[in-house]
């Protein structure tokens, strides 16, 4: 039977991926560095069979007939396995309700493990990473646990743009607080569309690319030294550089809402009270706060007072994707 189920954790980038050097193979323009999170998981089941007449996707138990992006990715998988069968895919996010958090990383990471197992493809971890990246670049990072580096590489087909686990954080007390913000009727542009638009139209895009390699270098040093203050400071510089380039796109890409800004102000205030906490933001209004377990209560209590914060999810360090 060509069927398997796998689970993967979401990840949050401390140093972001924002723009591609190659669209066809979905290769990031810069290196990125992320933390895998144990509280946000996705479980995916895939079955290949002659009984199917099309690829189908059911997401969180809502059946969807077609997903062109998924079919393109399934074609890559089928070609590797010499398979001609359509697939039925079912993916469930175990995220707290209506969090509005992106899930393509954990979805394509879990699908990579499930699909390669279902089709008995004996891929190396590097080949799995290459496959996951072609579904969603951040998915390559979700295949692995702890702190993960996804290099841009130089190979024209991205064979060296494969994720590497750089630290399992087993001796480091770090946590990520995800601050979910109600964005009302504001329609966010998907991260894929937004990064492509930014690369094409933002006069600050090249500046963004130029800042990343030193951010990665400093972040790696801070990790080796277990220096949360330095890591958090670089993480903040990096997210503001990404969002600055996005704001300068024409027309602008802006995700922050008044509640987002209120959270940023609160984190600044908390730091003045010697509470180690640092923010990062992705393609949405939510804020993610890097901190240590001893500060979680203080940070959460401050966040609960902010209008527009609808949910607070505190996560530890997640492990690699695996078959269920
Ligand atoms: C990141 N993001 O590094 C950045 C920061 C969003 C903002 O990786 O086009 O869904 O599928 O490769 O992986 C989200 O981008 O984009 C992302 P595709 P993906 O986490």
| Ligand 1 atom with least separation from CA of 12 | 20
Within 6 A (CB) of ligand 1 lie: 13, 16-18, 26, 32, 104-105, 136-138, 191-192, 282-283
- Same structural domain for residues 161 and 185? no
Range of the domain at 51: 2-170
User: 191, 205, 209, 290: which to mutate for ligand 1, most atoms within 8 A of CB?
Assistant: 191
What is the rounded average pLDDT of the residues 123-147?
A: 98
- CATH code for position 132: 3.30.230.10
Predicted local confidence at residue 63, as pLDDT: 83
Q: Which two tokens stand for residue 2?
A: 């060509």
Measure 30 CA to ligand 1 centroid, in angstroms. 12
pLDDT tens digits for range 74-115: 999 999 999 999 999 999 999 765 566 778 999 999 999 999
Which of 170, 188, 210 is a domain's end point? 170
Same domain for 103 and 141, yes or no, is yes
Whether residue 74 sits in one domain with residue 46: yes
* Residue 298 belongs to a domain: yes
Helix (H) or strand (E) holding 89: strand 86-94
In a domain, 323, yes or no: no
Say what the pLDDT of residue 185 is.
62
Whole-angstrom distance, CA of residue 160 vs CA of residue 27: 10
Closest CA to 15 of 221, 156, 301: 221
Nearest residue (by CA) to ligand 1, atom 9, is 192
Given 155, 170, 185, the domain boundary residue is 170
Cα 18 to middle of ligand 1, angstroms: 7
Compute the CA torsion angle 23, 234, 229, 267 (nearest 10 deg).
-80
Domain tally, the chain: 2
Decide if 93 contacts 108 (C-beta within 8 A). Answer: no
Q: Does residue 58 lie in a domain region?
A: yes
* Residue to mutate, 17, 20, 134, ligand 1, most ligand atoms under 8 Å from C-beta: 17
Q: Can the peptide bond before residue 234 be classed as cis, meaning omega within 30 degrees of 0?
A: no
Q: Which two tokens stand for residue 67?
A: 């997903």
Within-domain flag for 321: no
The pLDDT tens digits for 7-27 are 999 999 999 999 999 999 999
pLDDT of residue 38: 96
Compute the mean pLDDT over every residue in the chain, rounded to the nearest whole number: 95
Quick: pLDDT tens for 211-267.
Answer: 999 999 999 999 999 999 999 999 999 999 999 999 999 999 999 999 999 999 999
Residues 187 and 299 in one domain: yes
CATH number of the domain to which 289 belongs: 3.30.70.890
Question: Which atom of ligand 1 approaches the CA of 139 most closely?
Answer: 13
**166 and 227 inside one domain:** no
- Rounded distance from Cα 52 to ligand 1 centre (Å): 31
Q: Write the CB contacts of 254 (distance below 8 Å, at least 6 apart in sequence).
A: 246, 247
Mean pLDDT lowest among 31-40, 68-77, 184-193, 241-250? 184-193
Once rounded to an integer, what is the mean pLDDT over residues 143-157? 98
Q: Name which residue leads in pLDDT, 322 or 187.
A: 322
Q: Do residues 61 and 141 share a domain?
A: yes
- Residues of the chain with pLDDT > 70, as a percent, come to 97
Tell me the pLDDT band of 64, cut-offs 50, 70 and 90: confident
pLDDT at 127 over 80: yes
265-308 pLDDT per residue, tens: 999 999 999 999 999 999 999 999 999 999 999 999 999 999 99
Residues 31 and 103 in one domain: yes
C-alpha–C-alpha distance, residues 232 and 244, integer Å: 18
Phi-psi map region of 124: left, alpha, beta (phi>0 left; psi -120 to 50 alpha): beta
Residues 308 and 269 in one domain: yes
Residue 78 alpha carbon to ligand 1 centre in Å: 24
User: What does the DSSP 8-state code read for residue 294?
Assistant: G
Last residue of a domain, one of 170, 205, 223: 170
**Same-domain status, 121 and 30:** yes
Q: Candidates 151, 195, 254: which one to mutate for ligand 1, based on the most atoms within 8 Å of Cβ?
A: 195
| Residue 324 included in any domain | no
Do 26 and 149 share a domain, yes or no? yes
The answer for residues whose C-beta is within 8 angstroms of residue 306's C-beta and 6 or more apart is: 259, 262, 263, 266
Predicted pLDDT of residue 100: 65
Name the residue with the closest Cα to ligand 1, atom 7: 282
pTM of the model: 0.96
Residue 40 confidence (pLDDT) above 70: yes
Does 156 lie in the same domain as 25?
yes
CA distances from 281 to 15, 61, 95, 101, 238 (A): 11, 28, 18, 11, 10
Query: Does some domain include residue 38?
Result: yes
């Amino acid at each position: 039977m060509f069927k398997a189920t796998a689970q993967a954790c979401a990840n949050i980038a401390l140093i972001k991926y924002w723009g591609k050097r190659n669209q066809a193979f979905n290769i990031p323009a810069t290196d990125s560095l992320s933390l895998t999170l144990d509280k946000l998981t996705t479980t995916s089941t895939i079955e290949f069979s002659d009984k199917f007449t099309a690829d189908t996707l059911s997401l969180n138990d809502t059946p969807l007939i077609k997903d062109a992006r998924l079919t393109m990715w399934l074609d890559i998988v089928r070609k590797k396995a010499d398979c001609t069968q359509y697939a039925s895919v079912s993916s469930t996010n175990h995220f707290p309700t209506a969090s509005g958090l992106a899930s393509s990383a954990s979805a394509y990471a879990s699908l990579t493990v499930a699909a390669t197992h279902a089709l008995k493809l004996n891929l190396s971890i590097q080949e799995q990473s290459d496959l996951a990246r072609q579904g969603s670049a951040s998915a390559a990072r979700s295949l692995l646990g702890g702190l993960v580096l996804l290099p841009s590489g130089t190979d024209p087909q991205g064979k060296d743009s494969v994720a590497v686990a750089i630290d399992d954080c087993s001796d480091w007390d770090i946590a990520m607080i995800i601050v979910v913000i109600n964005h009302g009727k504001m329609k966010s542009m998907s991260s894929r569309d937004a990064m492509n638009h930014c690369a094409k139209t933002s006069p600050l895009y090249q500046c963004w690319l130029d800042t990343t390699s030193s951010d990665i270098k400093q972040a790696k040093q801070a990790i080796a030294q277990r220096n949360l203050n330095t890591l958090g400071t670089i993480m903040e510089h990096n997210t503001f550089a990404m969002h600055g380039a996005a704001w300068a796109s024409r027309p602008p890409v802006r995700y922050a809402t008044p509640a987002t800004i209120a959270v940023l102000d609160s984190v600044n205030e908390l730091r003045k009270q010697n509470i180690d906490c640092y923010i990062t933001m992705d393609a949405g209004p939510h804020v993610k706060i890097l901190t240590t377990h001893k500060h979680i209560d203080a940070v959460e209590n401050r966040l609960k007072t902010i209008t527009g914060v609808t949910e607070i999810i505190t996560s530890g360090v997640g492990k690699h994707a695996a078959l269920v």
